[in-house]
Structure 1
């Protein structure tokens, strides 16, 4: 009996502390100015075909799904909500979509977390040691992409580097330099230098 009372007091204390911490965080001017709710910062990364995501609904194992790969149409199958079109959404957008879909009809206050398990690949061609497709990494530049592909070959040009952007319908190569950002699905070509 005494143990039960102590446990209930501890739970009350913990819940009160968490509620106060959350209200302090939301009232923080930095959090308010950035538009963040609670303590979650959302990435600007846009989901696309080939990305693999993990979806967790806290306390609901049946609604939590691991390693769901987006189809070529940019959709993911999800229990009770069906096929969700998520192409171009951010992780935060997908969390809100699932939360709104579950709220009311299925759960009172769903807490949804989405994480990217595997990014879709980018591609490197030409004068690198190991041309091919590699999983995208946030903050990727031409220099880093070449390193991931084994580094530049001896005859690689430092001025003839081109990228075809994933979303460009014309598939037109654009000249880039070593510090140009590379996105998921981009195709980077390093040409040979002729002395």
Structure 2
């Protein structure tokens, strides 16, 4: 809690604007991290590192592909798990690995998606729609949006008994109820599968 005891209106206004600006920066940073997609095997990332000897910078700063095993191989520390981590989390993990192994004292790592574009992710409409198959995932996508992209329900679909499969766990979803009450729509995650029985 901030207690202001002065009557100087201009100073109070400046202080309030500073607090508002700081809050906005923190909120934007959190929203940016939340919009990041987790990396997976086959993704290409550009890694750059600073605050280390110049000779090592050229060895470490380059483009890496996440292996089938979900890792990248870095000089001095070897295999580092990348699959399942967002780029901002991977950055911190690499910095910590170099510090904990006493290779560098204060490295700064920056990771971006190679080419600047977010890697493509899919959700899968398995059955019950007019155009079943993979649907490009985007942040904020819901189950009803995925059905819409798949051209809507087929003539023989039973949307009230839809199954959503996420990470091997199946949940039954009544898409008729969600159609009537869009506020109940479910946000999807990459690799989700939607099965509308026919």
State the TM bucket, normalised to the shorter chain.
Answer: 0.5 to 0.7
**Structure 1 residue 44: deviation in Å?**
6.4
**TM-score of the pair, normalised by structure 2:** 0.60
**TM-score of the pair, normalised by structure 1:** 0.60
CA distance change for structure 1 residues 49 and 108 in 2, over 3 Å: closer, same or farther? Answer: closer
1:63 to 60, 64, 68: 60
CA distance change for structure 1 residues 159 and 176 in 2, over 3 Å: closer, same or farther? Answer: closer
CA distance change for structure 1 residues 93 and 142 in 2, over 3 Å: closer, same or farther? Answer: same
Higher helix fraction: Structure 1 or Structure 2? 2
CA displacement 1:109-160 (0-9 Å, x = unmatched): 4341334732443221111233223443211111222233344323333322
Which secondary structure does the structure 2 equivalent of 1:99 belong to? helix
CA distance change for structure 1 residues 124 and 76 in 2, over 3 Å: closer, same or farther? Answer: farther
For 1:89, the equivalent position in structure 2 comes to: 85
For 2:108, the equivalent position in structure 1 comes to: 110
For 2:25, the equivalent position in structure 1 comes to: 31
Q: CA RMSD in A?
A: 3.7
Which secondary structure does the structure 2 equivalent of 1:159 belong to? helix
CA distance change for structure 1 residues 44 and 159 in 2, over 3 Å: closer, same or farther? Answer: same
Contact 1:53 1:68 in 2 (8 A): yes
2:152 & 2:41 partners in 1: Cα distance? 25
1:132 & 1:165 partners in 2: Cα distance? 16
Name structure 2 gaps, 5 residues minimum.
1-17, 51-56, 179-184
Name structure 1 gaps, 5 residues minimum.
1-23
